Amino acid sequence: MTVNFDNAASTFPKPLSVRKAVAHALCSCGGSAGRGGHTLAMRTSDAMFSARETAAEFFGAQPENTIFTSNCTHALNTAILGILKNGDHAVISSMEHNSSARPAAALAKKGIISCSVAKTADTPSETAANFISAVRPETKAIIMTAASNVTGQIMPFREVAAFAAEKNICFILDAAQAAGVIPLRLGGGISIICMPGHKGLYAAPGTGLLITDAKHIIDPLMYGGTGSRSNELSQPDYLPDRLESGTGNIAGALSVQAGIKFVSQLGIDKIYDHETDLCRIFLNQLKNNSNVIIYRNENYSYVPLVAFNIKGKTSEETADILDKKGFCLRAGLHCAPMAHKTIGTGENGAVRFSPSVFSRESEVYALCREIKKIAE
């Protein structure tokens, strides 16, 4: 028995429709989208557009402004490095993943930008106020995770995005843990949404999306062939070509489309409710155990994942014991050292329980029994 409770890293298993979409792409889409006018290339171009259209509709964007990337990190790097220029200022939160924090820090280290870290406070309104007070006249972008990948804590991103819109600041949302779990669309000040395909959208690993309202020009991270304006040395200035160089991942794009359809048909609310119920069982089973530390703040809402530790054990030791019992959970710093520092687990990290729509109550009860044994 192997049970995946590390769905916040990558959902597994994948829906049958997603697996079929990948197989269909590899069996039928033989050409390169946008390159060539022959039958295979046109079939692939049509399929790629259809996938783009599905994603665009789901997130409230134009198909042209829906960019396929290789993961959420790729999308965030494209947005952050493509928007911020010499002399700009950026604000990030103290709960950011390295996928946002590192590109911002790299620009700051080179002296290109200055960057402020807004502290995540005890309440969402205080956190939003920290962001607002960090903004300066030269602030070009606010980069904020919708929900922490460590604790699941939902950040007050809608409030901060609304403020950003008033100041004409580009608001970049890291939706790594939120896409497919809570409803998200462009608008309300959200200029760019970055996400993986392989988490809450149930697509293949190595997929991601950058969704933009195109109000802020993003310079390419990568230059090359786009199948358009091929007689010019300069990169096309229109989307998606501006940000998509090289042959696209058609199998990945079709898996994203199938994943979004899976989420849409099942209902994002139903998925959220199911996974939240499983988290509730997990919390109810363990909250009164004095040897189990749960990292939650009742002032915040959460996406369905729970960070915890067992007293006297490192997070890695706990995860290792659980792995030997058939439960796959992620331990350590989760590539988010600032978030761990914020919740006081900067040294040991934590263990993360993250169910998916395919997880079952019986599996959660079985996991909790094992955790209780370790905590004895």
Partner 1 sequence: MKCRLAMPSYTHAIHAKRVLISSGCSASVERIQNMNSGGCGFEIQTDCPCERAVEICRENNILPERIIQGDAT
Rounded CA-CA distance 368/252 in Å is: 35
State yes or no: residue 229 binds partner 1 (CB under 8 A).
yes
Q: How many residues bind partner 1 (CB under 8 A)?
A: 25
357 closest CA partner among 18, 51, 1? 18
Which one among 17, 19, 30, 42 touches partner 1, defined by CB under 8 A? Answer: 42
Choices 119-127, 180-188, 189-197, 237-245; region in contact with partner 1 by CB under 8 A = 237-245
Contact 145, 155 (CB under 8 A): yes
Residue 220 sits in the site that holds partner 1 (CB under 8 A):
no
Contact call for residue 230 and partner 1 (CB under 8 A) = yes
Start-to-end CA span in the chain (Å) = 24
Q: Judged by CB under 8 A, which of 1, 37, 86, 298 binds partner 1?
A: 37
Min. distance of Cβ 35 from partner 1 in angstroms?
A: 8
Which one of 29, 33, 173, 250 is in contact with partner 1 (CB under 8 A)?
33
Instruction: Give least dist CB 63 to partner 1, A.
Output: 5
* Shortest distance in whole angstroms from residue 69 CB to partner 1: 15
Determine, following the binding rule CB under 8 A, whether residue 240 of this chain makes contact with partner 1.
yes
Listed ranges 62-70, 106-114, 181-189, 277-285: which one lies at the site for partner 1 (CB under 8 A): 62-70
Interface segment toward partner 1; rule CB under 8 A; list 41-49, 69-77, 204-212, 258-266? 41-49
List C-alpha distances in Å: 136 to 59, 86, 114, 167: 29, 15, 11, 10
Q: How many CB atoms lie within 10 A of CB 46?
A: 12
Instruction: Please report whether residue 280 would count as binding partner 1 according to CB under 8 A.
Output: no
* Among 4, 7, 11, 45, contact with partner 1 (rule: CB under 8 A): 45
Q: Does 111 bind partner 1 (CB under 8 A)?
A: no
Residues 6+ apart with CB under 8 A from 352: 6, 8, 150, 305, 306, 307, 329, 330, 331, 334
Q: Binding to partner 1 by residue 216, rule CB under 8 A?
A: no
Stretch of 34-42, 155-163, 261-269, 287-295 contacting partner 1, by CB under 8 A: 34-42
Report d(CA 203, CA 214) in Å as an integer. 25
**34 binds partner 1 per the rule CB under 8 A:** yes
**Residue appearing with tokens 């964007």:** 61
**β 192-196/170-174 pair status:** parallel
Cα atoms found within 13 Å of the Cα of residue 60, Cβ hemisphere only: 13
How far is it, in rounded angstroms, from Cα 39 to Cα 270?
A: 40
